[in-house]
Amino acid sequence: MILIDGKKTSQDIKNEIASRVAEIKAEGGKVPHLAAVLVGNDGASQTYVGAKVKSCEEVGFVSTLVRLEADITEEELLKVVEDINTNPDIDGLIVQLPLPKHISVDKVTNKIKPEKDVDGFTPANVGRMTLNWPAYVAATPYGIVELLKRYQIETAGKHCVVIGRSHIVGSPMSILMARNGYPGNATVTLTHSKTQNLAEICRSADILIVAIGKPEFVTADMVKRGAVVIDVGIHRIEDASKKSGFRLIGDVKFDEVAEKAAAITPVPGGVGPMTIAALLYNTLQSAEKKVFG
Ligand code: NAP
């Protein structure tokens, strides 16, 4: 069984990005600049944004964290986004989700200039990805694509089952796996909460990508021997034996599934770290005008 090591792979990518940033600096070019907008005081969001800002520092990017009160109006937030859109020094803009309930995520997402949408959430980038045009691909699916590539996982002609159809993970993942390219050319089944006979469908998967958001949902009896299993889920569960008081688990029951799988991502240390590496990569692409020209 191959353990698909997202921690090491993401570090490799960060090292590659840091080398490129060093070259840009040596050439007197513009250092990539990512702006992150955080609304309110949600603990998990603060942790995620903090990790993104820290990673920017690690690779030599400039980063700006814009912190806004939870009671900011939608109009005020749209104005902040517009200001960043028109700031020529900033290459990438992310608005950390979730947003407070009185603000429309769709409106805010749609306000982000596609050329700076390094999260790949705007309709323009989703459309471009779907057409197989150059695009900013959402960081989590992009991170998974990169893992499949770097571990040389064969995808052409394989049956890929994706569990979950969210806009940020499952849906884009299904499109990427079906596209004409590598990784891709798979025969894809996209499943969701209305899917019937899910376990049976999963058992026919050569590649199983799980983004259901339910702890240890996928058990060994749902997995074909020799399958490649990608676990996107992240859940904190209490664990008194840990200093932090919790440990992380995924959507897949790792120990029993690992015994059957040909390759599998662990949680933590699988897809999670790749998401940040992909975001940094998209920001570098933006600074170098590689996607929109
Ligand atoms: P989400 O928006 O909650 O979507 C969950 C999907 O699972 C939905 O499409 C839902 O179907 C489907 N589903 C729910 N119950 C099901 C069932 N019994 N059978 C089949 N499908 C079912 O989740 P998400 O944002 O994609 O995230 C999924 C997991 O990945 C979460 O644990 C999240 O924390 C994690 N995540 C990790 C990263 C990372 O960087 N590693 C990034 C993003 C998310 P319906 O559409 O029918 O409701």
Per the structure, the complete domain to which residue 65 belongs is given by 29-113
Pick the catalytic residue from 5, 14, 91, 96: 96
User: Is there a domain that residue 91 lies in?
Assistant: yes
* Binding site membership of 212 for ligand 1 (Cβ less than 6 Å): yes
Residue 89 has pLDDT above 90, yes or no: yes
Q: Per-residue pLDDT tens for 22-71?
A: 999 999 999 999 999 999 999 989 999 999 999 999 999 999 999 999 99
Tell whether the model's pLDDT for residue 293 goes beyond 90: no
Residue 217 sits in a domain of what CATH number?
3.40.50.720
Active site residue 194: no
Split at pLDDT 50, 70, 90, the class of 257 is very high
Tell me, in angstroms, the distance from the centre of ligand 1 to residue 72's CA: 28
Say yes or no: 221 and 260 in one domain. yes
Tell which atom from ligand 1 comes closest to the C-alpha of 270.
Answer: 41
DSSP string across 111-140: HS-GGG-TT--SHHHHHHHHTT-S----HH
Q: Is 46 a catalytic residue?
A: no
Residues 65 and 164 in one domain: no
CA–CA separation, 268 and 233 (whole Å): 10
User: Which residue of the set 5, 14, 52, 117 is catalytic?
Assistant: 52
Encode 30-58 in three state secondary structure. Answer: CCCEEEEEEECCCHHHHHHHHHHHHHHHH
The model carries a pTM of 0.96
Give yes or no: residues 192 and 75 share one domain. Answer: no
Residue type (1 letter), 205:
A
Helix axes 170-178, 123-130, angle to 10 degrees: 30
| Cβ of 129 less than 6 Å from ligand 1 | no
CA atoms 268, 272, 276, 278: torsion sign: positive
- For residues 174-190, average pLDDT: 98
Claim to verify: residue 39 and residue 158 sit in the same structural domain: no
Our answer to whether residue 91 is catalytic in this structure is no
Count of structural domains within the chain: 2
Looking at the structure, do residues 150 and 267 belong to the same domain, yes or no? yes
